[in-house]
């Protein structure tokens, strides 16, 4: 009975040890400082989101960030168009 327990324990905990290295605090600080640079803050998220030699954690973070940015831009355009149509319809033309 004890041998059966060992088999289950080994099977349960042995797995794929191919984990990506953790992004360190220093790397995140450098990343955030680079995002403070104009133009680079537009280009670098795309490089990190779609680059081939980027840490998977960093890649997923920037993919999610780009999705949220796209949603924000869409909502901003929708709000601006609605506001513009409301203002233009309420202004009296002479």
pLDDT digits (tens, 9 = 90+) for 35-51: 999 999 999 999 999 99
Residue 62: CB atoms within 10 A of its CB come to 22
User: Does 62 reside within a domain?
Assistant: yes
Higher pLDDT, residue 3 or 55: 55
Evaluate if residue 11 carries a pLDDT over 90: no
Terminal Cα distance for the chain, rounded? 94
Q: Is residue 10 part of a domain?
A: no
- The range of the structural domain enclosing residue 51 comes to 25-92
Based on the structure, what is the number of domains in the chain?
1
pTM reported for the whole predicted model: 0.71
């Amino acid at each position: 009975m004890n041998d059966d327990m060992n088999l289950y324990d080994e099977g349960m905990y042995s797995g794929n040890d191919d984990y990506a290295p953790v992004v360190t605090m220093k790397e995140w600080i450098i990343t955030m400082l680079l995002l403070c640079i104009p133009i680079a803050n537009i280009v670098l998220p795309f490089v990190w989101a779609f680059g081939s030699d980027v840490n998977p954690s960093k890649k997923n973070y920037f993919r999610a960030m780009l999705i949220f940015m796209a949603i924000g831009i869409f909502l901003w355009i929708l709000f601006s168009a609605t506001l513009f149509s409301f203002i233009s319809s309420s202004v009296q033309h002479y």
